[in-house]
A and B are shown apart, each in its own frame.
Chain A
Amino acid sequence: MTETPRIVLFQCQWCLFSPADQDWVDHQLPKNILLVKVPCTGRINPLYILNAVQGGADGVMVSGCLPEQCHFKTGNIGARRQLEAFADYLHHIGYERDRVRFLWLDLQDRGIIQKELAAFEAQIEPLGPAKNLAAREFETAGGANA
């Protein structure tokens, strides 16, 4: 497959301290990446990730703040407990663990997210498109719901 992988990036609103990085993520993301901004990684309901996976995303990346630096005191700790377990579960039912990546950023970090996204893309490219969990084709006219 020569297709570029489709990646959904869940980004905590506060984890990119540098305005340059934030601007890059807001306006200059490659076409194959969708940015979903959330107030905190703790806001990410596992259902969002499940929706992304069923919708046919080839990779899911979650970027948030380091444990002690959460903007909402303890939000990312709950997120880590919940989402890492959920990623393991997804692996168990056939969505490779490599396709879900967590990125915990320090406030001092600059220019990390570009590199990490590129590395993540390189990591999931050999895995090919994720077909195991993608829901059947979206209903079109003439389908069951027509």
Chain B
Amino acid sequence: MSASFDPNALSERVKAIPGGDMLMMCYSCGTCTSKCMVQTKLEESYNPRRLIREAVFNMEEAAFADKTTWLCTACDLCYPACPQKIHISGVINAVKALAVESGKITPYQVAKVDELTCVACGLCVKICPYEAISPVEKRVAFRGNITVASVDAGKCMACGLCTAACRSTSIRLAQDYNDADIVETLLSWLEAERASS
């Protein structure tokens, strides 16, 4: 065993991160996948069991490119179901942290800050469940050196809580579920209903 030990292997690095330490307990029963709501509702190829296998077998590229790495929202439906009591979202989070460390970013949308209107009130920092937003001091065009909110793309899950909390509407989701689309659907439907009645 000791001859094949490699501290730089993906499995060892995942195990070194708190939350990823139970990795080797997995015997691939697939209960996590059957419980997963992301898999049933969003993405059929989403598969925590496969990701854990990839991590165990040190398949670094495959694991970092896997959708599972980026879409887990840590709802922890799988955690109570796992017969080996592996904190699966912790393992996925560890893999994600390593992926971010190696320079990968999420292929999915993240919240965007409009730095021209952000007043650094800190509401989004407080409400973010993933601690993805932090105030940073930076130079912004027209405004000089000021403090604005900044989104960590590696942590953001695009839940949109910050956009609902922001009092100056300066943080938003740009693609799916953006304000303009939702309000447009709402108003056009109501207008049509009003015209027909």
Could you tell me which residues of chain B, from 168 to 187, have a CB within 8 Å of some CB in chain A?
Answer: 176-177, 179, 182-183, 185-187
Q: Is the CB of B37 within 8 A of A17?
A: yes
**Cβ 8 A contact of B75, one of A34, A42, A71:** A71
Q: Is the CB of B186 within 8 A of A52?
A: yes
Q: Is the CB of A43 within 8 A of B160?
A: yes
Give A100 Cβ to nearest chain B Cβ, in Å.
15
A78 within 8 A of B: yes
A44 within 8 A of B: yes
B163 within 8 A of A: yes
Complex Cα spacing A32 to B196, Å: 11
Complex Cα spacing A65 to B77, Å: 13
Complex Cα spacing A71 to B179, Å: 21
A interface footprint on B63-103 (CB within 8 Å = 1, 0 otherwise): 00000000001110100000000000000000000000000
Q: Please count how many residues in chain B sit with their CB below 8 Å of the partner chain's CB atoms.
A: 32
B14 within 8 A of A: no
Residues of chain B with a CB closer than 8 A to A37's CB: 177
Q: Is the CB of B186 within 8 A of A71?
A: no
Residues of chain B with a CB closer than 8 A to A75's CB: 129, 159, 161
Most buried by A among B77, B161, B163, B179: B161
Stretch from A6-14, A90-98, A108-116, A117-125 contacting the other chain:
A6-14
Could you tell me which residues of chain A, from 77 to 136, have a CB within 8 Å of some CB in chain B?
Answer: 78-79, 82, 107
Q: Is the CB of B191 within 8 A of A72?
A: no
Give B45 Cβ to nearest chain A Cβ, in Å.
18
Most buried by A among B129, B187, B197: B129
With A6-B193, A13-B41 as known contacts, state yes or no: A40 contacts B75, CB within 8 Å.
Answer: no
Complex Cα spacing A95 to B190, Å: 17
Give A57 Cβ to nearest chain B Cβ, in Å.
6
Residues of chain A with a CB closer than 8 A to B159's CB: 39-40, 42-43, 71-72, 75
With A19-B40, A71-B75, A74-B129 as known contacts, state yes or no: A42 contacts B194, CB within 8 Å.
Answer: no
Q: Which residue on A lies nearest to B194, using beta carbons?
A: A56
Q: Is the CB of B182 within 8 A of A48?
A: yes
Most buried by B among A43, A44, A57, A79: A43
Give A68 Cβ to nearest chain B Cβ, in Å.
10
With A43-B160, A72-B157 as known contacts, state yes or no: A78 contacts B186, CB within 8 Å.
Answer: no
Name the 9 nearest CB pairs between A and B, nearest first: A43-B160, A55-B190, A73-B129, A72-B159, A42-B161, A71-B75, A45-B164, A34-B189, A40-B159
Additional A-B contacts beyond A42-B160, A48-B186 (11; CB < 8 A): A3-B197, A13-B41, A39-B176, A39-B177, A43-B164, A47-B179, A55-B194, A69-B75, A72-B161, A73-B73, A82-B164
Question: Chain A: residues with CB nearer than 8 A to chain B?
Answer: 3, 6, 8, 13-14, 17, 19, 22, 32, 34, 36-40, 42-48, 51-52, 55-57, 69-75, 78-79, 82, 107, 138
Can you report 10 A-B residue pairs in the complex whose CB atoms are below 8 A from each other? A8-B190, A14-B37, A36-B182, A39-B159, A39-B176, A42-B159, A51-B186, A71-B37, A75-B159, A138-B194
